């Protein structure tokens, strides 16, 4: 998204509220709650005992994403057959 789109959305949310306090209740609090939840879940997924760590010299984004999909059982979905080949 471009900066202009984000700024326009932010301006529109401010325009629909009755002031900064109302904006914070309607948009700020849910944003911070969701952000905290997303950070926490991601942290626990990547820092558990069974978490797989990559060395910096052999990490690749496509490989890590494919491993993540395999690990969290999305292989039962017909949408991801190319990622799940040879994992059963």
18 belongs to a structural domain: yes
Q: Does 74 have pLDDT greater than 50? A: yes
pLDDT digits (tens, 9 = 90+) for 18-46: 888 999 999 999 999 999 999 888 887 77
Cβ contacts of 77 within 8 Å, gap of 6 or more? none
Give the range of the structural domain holding residue 8, as residue numbers without chain letter: 1-46
27 belongs to a structural domain: yes
20 belongs to a structural domain: yes
21 belongs to a structural domain: yes
Number of domains the chain contains: 1
80 belongs to a structural domain: no
Q: Tell me how far apart the alpha carbons of residues 40 and 32 are, in angstroms, rounded to a whole number.
A: 12
23 belongs to a structural domain: yes
Report pLDDT for 70. 63
- pTM above threshold 0.75: no
Report pLDDT for 5. 94
Report pLDDT for 42. 81
């Amino acid at each position: 998204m471009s900066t202009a789109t984000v700024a326009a959305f932010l301006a529109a949310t401010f325009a629909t509220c009755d002031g900064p306090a109302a904006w914070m209740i309607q948009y700020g609090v849910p944003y911070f709650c969701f952000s905290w939840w997303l950070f926490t879940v991601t942290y626990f997924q990547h820092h558990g005992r069974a978490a797989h760590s990559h060395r910096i010299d052999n990490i690749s984004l496509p490989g890590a994403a494919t491993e993540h999909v395999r690990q969290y059982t999305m292989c039962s979905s017909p949408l991801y057959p190319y990622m799940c080949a040879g994992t059963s």
